Amino acid sequence: MKSIYYLLIVLISCSCSGEPREVQTKEKAEKPTPEIRNEKISSKPEELQIHSTKYRIVPIDETSEDQSLQAFVSKLKGIVKRKDLAGLLNCLDTGIVVSWGGGMHGMETFREEWELNKQPERSALWVKMKHLLELGGAWEDDKKEFRFPYAQCDRFFQNMEFDFDWYVTAVCISSKTNVYQRPLPNAEKTALLSYEVVQILDRGADFIKIQTIDKKVTGFVKIDQLILSADSYPILEKTNGEWKIVSFAPYD
């Protein structure tokens, strides 16, 4: 009898415990899926439109118009890359102009001006010369001289109706030159310029405050995006059948 009694209790217990599991499973199945909220993704700021005026100088390189000039420039680029002082001096005219206003000329003066007398490999001349040659050059004075970079040629300014002061004139050398609100690389960009000729309002170590000729854009531009019209640049002339650098002087 006891065995029959215990068997009934086990059967009743099993039958009672089965139903709650079915109910529990059903409840889990019917539990609503939590709502997924779609967060708005902020769109990128619109790209600035290029502010363009008639005061522009588009890059040009006329070196290939003369084979002897092209060969000389190619050799000069190699000399600069190697920082070959002897090779560079061989490319200079003996009376090279170092400063027009100061009456400074000659190879020794050139070496002193660019600190080539001691540790010439550290001279700032190599980086500067490399940059100017890479920009490309153009003819001036009825092809009697060749200037690097192209932006230093007066003929490109002749048809512009503006009285330029070379001490405060600069040319943007990029198709998209950023203008910043402040002289900081992470500052807000306020405008884009493309090969624009601009006026210099103030000068810092890394940035220059500029204003477009039409005065519609004012802000700060990185100095490596500009060619300053009063800065030093090389002038090449062919003398006695050989090309030489006859001047590397600023506008002074």
Least confident span in 27-31, 79-83, 87-91, 184-188: 27-31
At residue 51, φ and ψ (nearest 5 deg) are: -90, 115
Please state the pTM of the whole predicted model: 0.80
pLDDT exceeds 80 at position 36:
no
Whether the CB-CB separation of 50 and 194 falls below 8 Å is answered with yes
End-to-end CA distance of the chain: 126
Least confident span in 23-37, 42-56, 114-128: 23-37
Q: Residues 6 or more apart from 219 whose CB is under 8 A from it?
A: 179, 180, 181, 190, 191, 209, 210
| Euclidean distance between CA atoms 212 and 215, whole angstroms | 5
Mean pLDDT of 236-242: 94
CA diameter of the chain: 136
Give the tens place of pLDDT for each residue, 219-229: 999 999 999 99
Whole-Å CA distances, 217 to 21, 52, 180, 191, 213: 76, 10, 10, 7, 9
pLDDT of residue 182: 97
Return the SS3 of 225: helix
pLDDT exceeds 60 at position 11:
no
Give the tens place of pLDDT for each residue, 150-178: 999 999 999 999 999 999 999 999 999 99
At residue 189, φ and ψ (nearest 5 deg) are: -85, 130
The whole-chain average pLDDT of the chain stands at 87
| Euclidean distance between CA atoms 133 and 130, whole angstroms | 5
pLDDT of residue 45: 56
Mean pLDDT of 5-27: 44
pLDDT exceeds 50 at position 144:
yes
pLDDT exceeds 80 at position 5:
no
Q: Residues 6 or more apart from 216 whose CB is under 8 A from it?
A: 51
pLDDT exceeds 50 at position 25:
no
HEC string for 55-98? CECCCCCCHHHCHHHHHHHHHHHHHHHHCCHHHHHHCEEEEEEE
Q: In this structure, how many other beta carbons lie within 10 angstroms of the beta carbon of residue 96?
A: 22
